[in-house]
């Protein structure tokens, strides 16, 4: 594996290897929560934060606990537990010390546990054999890319409310078509940087 500059990975994770638009991760909440710009921005921030933190935890756990004991096959279970535990912990800390943010993000926090983007980033960084800094850059970049995509989609959907849409396409159908168009636009970024 060629040593990649963490900065390159960071940019690539936002534009060319966007979590939603080229890896299809985090689609469930992407379609469900993207109705308003404010809420999707809140969710995006929460996802970015959890991604950054869990990538550190999972990296350390994987390389310093699982690998020395030859327990790599347990990684799915360990990762999902550490993500769930971390989300729970954050919820409790935030409720106590920063209640404003807690109530703003409230409902989204528990949802993040089952967001495939989080587990996906942890798995990708293991499969692609990233170093610690690379993993961190990848996680933060993915989070920002995810936020950008969901906020953009929310903006488009707010406009879309006034448009007439064929009956069967209403709701999820048209959302997917819009996402497809966004994905096409993002193909334009490919070639700037390359990872994988």
Q: Does 76 bind another protein (CB under 8 A)?
A: yes
- The alpha carbons of the chain give a radius of gyration, in whole angstroms, of 18
Contacts (CB under 8 A) with another protein, residues 100-139: 114-116, 118-120, 123-124, 127
Per DSSP, the three-state class of 147 is helix
Nearest to another protein of 7, 177 (CB atom): 177
Q: The tokens 């109530």 sit on which residue? A: 103
Q: Which of 4, 132, 126, 124 is nearest to 56 (CA)?
A: 132
Nearest to another protein of 100, 164 (CB atom): 164
**Which x/- pattern, by CB under 8 A, does the window 2-31 give for another protein?**
-------------------xxxxxxxx--x
Binds another protein (CB under 8 A): choice among 7, 65, 67, 77: 77
How many residues bind another protein, per CB under 8 A? 41
CA distances from 89 to 46, 82, 84 (A): 13, 10, 9
DSSP 54-122: HHHHHHHHIIIIITTTT-GGGHHHHHHHHHHHHHHHHHHHHHHH-HHHHHHHTTHHHHHTT-HHHHHHH
Q: Does 156 bind another protein (CB under 8 A)?
A: no
Q: Does 173 bind another protein (CB under 8 A)?
A: yes
Q: Does 93 bind another protein (CB under 8 A)?
A: no
Q: In terms of C-beta density within 10 A (0-12 exposed, 13-18 middle, 19 or more buried), how is residue 101 classed?
A: middle
Nearest to another protein of 23, 147 (CB atom): 23
Contacts (CB under 8 A) with another protein, residues 34-73: 73
Residues near another protein, by CB under 8 A: 21-28, 31, 73-77, 80-81, 84, 114-116, 118-120, 123-124, 127, 166-169, 172-174, 176-177, 179-181, 183-184, 187
């Amino acid at each position: 594996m060629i040593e990649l500059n963490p900065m390159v990975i960071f940019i690539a994770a936002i534009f060319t290897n966007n979590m939603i638009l080229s890896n299809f991760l985090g689609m469930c909440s992407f379609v469900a929560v993207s109705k308003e710009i404010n809420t999707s921005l809140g969710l995006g921030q929460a996802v970015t934060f959890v991604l950054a933190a869990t990538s550190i935890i999972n990296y350390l756990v994987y390389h310093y606990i699982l690998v020395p004991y030859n327990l790599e096959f347990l990684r799915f279970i360990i990762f999902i537990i550490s993500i769930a535990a971390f989300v729970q912990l954050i919820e409790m800390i935030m409720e106590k010390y920063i209640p404003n943010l807690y109530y703003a993000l409230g409902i989204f926090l528990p949802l993040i546990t089952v967001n495939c983007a989080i587990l996906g980033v942890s798995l990708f960084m293991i499969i692609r054999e990233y170093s610690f800094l690379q993993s961190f850059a990848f996680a933060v970049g993915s989070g920002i890319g995810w936020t950008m995509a969901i906020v953009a989609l929310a903006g488009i959907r707010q406009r879309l409310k006034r448009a007439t849409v064929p009956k069967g396409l209403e709701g999820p159908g048209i959302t997917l078509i819009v996402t497809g168009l966004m994905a096409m636009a993002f193909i334009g970024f490919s070639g700037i940087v390359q990872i994988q």
